[in-house]
Amino acid sequence: MIYAFLNQKGGVGKTTLSIHTAAELTRQGRRVLLVDADPQGSALAWSNCRETADFTIVGMPKATVHKEIPMLAENYDDVIIDGPPRVTELARSIILSADRVVIPLQPSPMDVWAAAETVDLVREAQTFKPEIRVCLVINRKIANTAIGRDVRSALKDLDVPVLKSDLGQRVTFAETAATGSTVLLERRSKAAKEVKKFVNELRRQE
């Protein structure tokens, strides 16, 4: 399965979710390749800090991803693509590479608008590859806030599945990123439980 994490807005947590999805799938016994297709190279930078290389990371920030991924994917059960912000030929290539496009967004009007632009890109790609599927995931949600509760209503107009597994705004994601690790090291933490629940729900969508 090839998952692409995309949103036209930066700062929504694409890299964090990409890394944690790859780590959790690896923990479940899957052979995983993470493709850093963002020119900023944040996933590669994280990889340079990690102590154990439990899954493979390669950099591929170029608009030929959809041509190169099939050959790369042959030796893996799952491929995770960390995409760039903004509408570019690279983003379009990533969408065409994917079986499923995952659009992370924070509970804010700007994130909802950016998610709508990304959904439009996916629908454009579906004219060439109808089997591409898309879903939304609410990330960096602050508990007990009105906007956190209301964001699902705002997303209904997009007519795209919204995963039930929200992920909270937690300092531990930033802390573990700085050391090249993940929140999954503390399996009983709220952050780890949220990641596991999210990945399991994502896999059920297949």
| pLDDT for the residue numbered 36 | 97
Q: What is the mean pLDDT of residues 52-79?
A: 92
In the structure encoding, which two tokens stand for residue 189, read together?
Answer: 């933490």
Residue 144 has pLDDT above 70, yes or no: no
In the structure encoding, which two tokens stand for residue 12, read together?
Answer: 């929504």
Q: Where are the alpha helices (DSSP H) in the chain?
A: 14-27, 42-49, 65-73, 89-97, 109-126, 146-155, 171-177, 190-204
CA proximity to 18, closest of 47, 53, 52:
47
Element (H, E) at 101: strand 100-105
User: Distance between CA 52 and CA 197 in Å, rounded?
Assistant: 24
Q: Where are the domains of the chain?
A: 2-196
Measured in residues, the chain has a length of 206
Read off the pLDDT band of 201 (50, 70, 90).
very high
State the average pLDDT for the chain. Answer: 91
Specify the higher pLDDT residue, 119 or 170. 119
CATH of 2-196 among 3.40.50.300, 1.10.10.10, 3.30.420.40, 3.40.50.2000: 3.40.50.300
| pLDDT for the residue numbered 148 | 59
| pLDDT for the residue numbered 145 | 62
Residue 149 has pLDDT above 70, yes or no: no
Residue 29 has pLDDT above 90, yes or no: yes
In the chain, % of residues over pLDDT 90: 67
Specify the higher pLDDT residue, 51 or 11. 11
The packing angle between helices 109-126 and 146-155, to 10°, is 30
Residue 146 has pLDDT above 80, yes or no: no
